[in-house]
Chain A
């Protein structure tokens, strides 16, 4: 029996909700007609799915639902409600007499304390009026400004990238051929509309003047730290996955040859005879190598030997200057190690 009582109460509360919403909406229409009509015209031109009325209704339903739950809770909220009623009494703004009558009727239909319910409903209505006044003046979210600054839809590069990525699918069929996405598939269409709306709003947000809602956080230092600490193992795995997916086997001989050229198996055509040889040294550095013989003794067989070595190196076109210098230095080291032996002789 208790459960049935509760269900009936809930039904009554829902009916009361509907009546309040209807009453409130009628009152709202009477007052905020002209600005709303202007908004609707603008919206109609832009074909954006933002509806002012729906938002208000949602707000109302939420608040009324909260109220209903509070009422069902009962004695805990009495004190807070009493405070609210006193606040309402202090407010000088008079409510519409029709609204007051409607509120009293609704309160009488509710099972709980009638006076309390009436006062609560009136408080709700006052709050709604405040919200509408604010929106008229332009204190809260001013949709009109945002919409007016929106321009004609042009394809942004990010949008184009999204479309291209939607077209190129990396999935493979059983046969091994790629699945081509259908052009007029419903999912892609909705996503396109969704994306277009998103990018419109994004562009308008960028274009318009600053609202100064958020403060710019210093993210530069964080970024610098992040580059040093990463890459983690997961990043490596992710990179490996990407490499494995993007490296598709070649579809024809040309792609195979391209792959080979990249790996270095195949030479680049037209053949460059000096490919791989990056000798920036002048000819005199190759030939006049006597300056490297400074540390050697100036007399004796070693000097004779080293001069022959230099003569041979200067005629060698295959070694780079660095390699020649290394050659001479090796001999230097070798003879320094054998100095004791040489002095015995």
Chain B
């Protein structure tokens, strides 16, 4: 009786409080541009399905043109940050917009730093 209620409460508490770790937790993004990029990614994820469907109507030769024009207007009405084109693959650690390797999501400088300290798995200095 009381044990079951307590168990439910414990589960709820665990969800509310993620496990308290003693290491540093990143609570801030590197800079505001990174924050804006994060917002754009979230919105793009939300509106992805709608955009796909409206675009399917637009890029169509079967449906009448009037319908396609209406679809054009609709997609323009969606929030500007919802289009995936605005997302920039920045470096995860330094927020550098250029020189970012897609596989590791790191800029070339950070990548080189970690690789030299042998903290990148399977990366070796090239020599041939």
Interface residues of B in 3-41 (CB under 8 A from A): 4-6, 8-10, 12-14, 16-22
Docked complex Cα distance between A249 and B5 (Å): 27
Question: Which of chain A's residues have a CB closer than 8 A to the CB of B10?
Answer: 239, 242-243
Distance in angstroms between the alpha carbons of A242 and B6 in the assembled complex = 10
- Listed stretches B60-68, B94-102, B119-127; interface member: B60-68
A305 contacts B20, C-beta separation under 8 Å: no
Q: A230-B5, A235-B9, A239-B9 are in contact. Are A305 and B53 (CB under 8 A)?
A: no
Number of interface residues of A (CB under 8 A): 31
Counting CB contacts under 8 A, is B2 at the interface?
yes
Q: Is A217 an interface residue (CB 8 A)?
A: no
- Closest chain-B Cβ to A302's Cβ sits at a distance in Å of 7
| A302-B63, A305-B62 known; A330 vs B13 contact (CB < 8 Å) | no
Q: How many residues of B contact A (CB 8 A)?
A: 29
A240 contacts B17, CB within 8 Å?
Answer: yes
What residues of chain A lie closer than 8 Å to B63, measured between beta carbons?
301-302, 305
Interface status of A342 (Cβ within 8 A of chain B): yes
Our pick among B4, B13, B66 for the contact of A345 (Cβ within 8 Å) is: B66
Complex alpha-carbon distance, A226 and B64, angstroms: 64
Given A227-B1, A247-B20, A305:B60 Cβ within 8 A: yes
| A179 on the B face (CB < 8 A) | no
Residues of A contacting B21 with CB < 8 Å? Answer: 249
For A250, give the chain B residue with the smallest CB separation: B21
Check B1 against A309 for contact (C-beta < 8 Å): no
Interchain CA distance A133-B62 in the complex, whole Å: 110
Cβ-closest chain B residue relative to A219: B1
Q: Is B48 an interface residue (CB 8 A)?
A: no
Q: How far is the CA of A103 from the CA of B44 in the complex (A)?
A: 103
Question: With an 8 A cutoff between CB atoms, is B56 at the interface?
Answer: yes
In the complex, are the beta carbons of B6 and A239 less than 8 A apart? yes
Cα A26 to Cα B12 in complex, Å, equals: 68
B70 within 8 A of A: yes
Q: Considering the complex, which residues of chain A in the window 212-268 have a beta carbon less than 8 Å from any beta carbon of chain B?
A: 223, 226-227, 230-231, 235-236, 238-240, 242-244, 247, 249, 259, 263
* Complex CA distance for A227 and B21, rounded to whole angstroms: 33
Determine if B62 and A301 form an interchain contact, defined as CB atoms under 8 angstroms apart. yes
Select from chain B the residue with minimum beta-carbon distance to A304: B62
The complex places the Cα of A231 from the Cα of B19 at a distance, in Å, of 22
Q: Is A334 an interface residue (CB 8 A)?
A: yes
* CA distance in complex: A301, B60 (Å): 11
Does the CB pair B22–A341 fall under 8 Å?
Answer: no
A327 within 8 A of B: yes
Q: Is A193 positioned at the interface, with any CB of B under 8 Å from its CB?
A: no
- Taking a contact as CB atoms under 8 Å apart, the answer to whether B1 and A263 are in contact is no
Q: Is the CB of A341 within 8 A of B1?
A: no
Determine if A236 and B9 form an interchain contact, defined as CB atoms under 8 angstroms apart: yes
Q: Jot down 29 A-B pairs with beta carbons below 8 A, ordered by A.
A: A223-B1, A230-B2, A231-B5, A231-B8, A235-B9, A236-B9, A238-B6, A239-B13, A240-B16, A242-B10, A242-B13, A243-B10, A243-B13, A243-B14, A244-B17, A247-B19, A249-B21, A259-B19, A263-B18, A263-B19, A301-B63, A301-B64, A302-B63, A304-B62, A305-B60, A305-B62, A327-B49, A345-B64, A345-B66
Residue numbers of A with Cβ under 8 A of B are 223, 226-227, 230-231, 235-236, 238-240, 242-244, 247, 249, 259, 263, 301-302, 304-305, 308-309, 327, 330-331, 334, 338, 341-342, 345
Knowing that A263-B19, A330-B49, A334-B53 touch, tell me 7 more A-B residue pairs with CB under 8 angstroms.
A223-B1, A231-B9, A236-B9, A243-B10, A305-B60, A331-B53, A342-B64
